[in-house]
Amino acid sequence: MARLCLILFGSPGSGKGTQAKLLKESLGIAHISTGDMLRERVASGDEVGRSVASLMQAGELVPDETVNRLVEEKIDRPECANGFILDGYPRTVQQAELLAELLVMRPIRTIVVHLVVDYNVIVARMAGRRQCPVCGSVYGINSSAPNTVGVCDKDGAKLAVREDDREEVVRERLRAYEQQTSPVLAFFKKSGIPCWDVPAAGIPPQVIAKGIEALIRKERGEAA
């Protein structure tokens, strides 16, 4: 059976990271985060890492060619033999085009899942988050709230609003995400690659993950 490539899309605050973790465990496949991959190369200090570091320090984007090459190297490693989840990639249509070519050359079954959460729900969810400046624990005003309002359960420190969780910043991040992601999703749908919109608001993460697993079985022609 062909390996699975699960391309996971989700706006900030959609729970994409949680789903990637759950699906990695339940499906027994690798999780490829391009952000983590780039940081690993920077830490290695090799030629690619040094070039990437200089770009990131200057606030510039890493070229598509470099990211594509790193992804290609990664998916050919033994840990991806059973399949993999792509998180944070592809971000552009050019990356998506090159990825599609790369996957066609290998026996890999590609499925795209887009976690859909109402705009206002995400704004409320992210703007309602508070973080402990000491241990890094994250709380929500309406869910996962601390035992004492505004105080970390673990060390008693006063909770704070992260800079990127301020409402105006959240709205700008969502606008940028929509502008960037819509053309990529349109490309995959036009290419005939299975693309699924999965509701992800007000539903337990484990239930969402089970639903995604069912979609994958359906696409693979497996029994439920």
114-151: pLDDT as tens digits: 999 888 888 888 888 899 999 988 898 767 889 999 99
In a domain, 53, yes or no: yes
Query: Residue 22's domain spans which residues?
Result: 3-118+167-220
Residue 194 main-chain phi, psi, to 5 deg: -55, 125
Tell me the longest C-alpha to C-alpha distance in the chain: 55
Residue 175 annotated in active site: no
Q: Which of 106, 162, 175, 220 is catalytic?
A: 162
Residue in the block written with tokens 């920077």: 42
Answer yes or no: 39 catalytic. no
Q: Where are the alpha helices (DSSP H) in 136-204?
A: 167-190
The answer as to whether 156 is a domain residue is no
Tens-digit pLDDT profile for residues 142-161: 678 899 999 999 999 999 98
Whether 98 is covered by a domain: the verdict is yes
How many other CB atoms are found less than 10 A from the CB of residue 80? 18
Interatomic CA distance for residues 144 and 206, integer angstroms: 16
Residue 10's domain is classified under what CATH number? Answer: 3.40.50.300
Query: Is residue 205 in some structural domain?
Result: yes
The C-alpha atoms of residue 24 and residue 89 are separated, in whole angstroms, by 16
Identified catalytic residue from 16, 41, 74, 125: 16
| Number of domains composing the chain | 1
Residue 201's pLDDT band (boundaries 50, 70, 90)? confident
Which token pair is 67? 């990211």
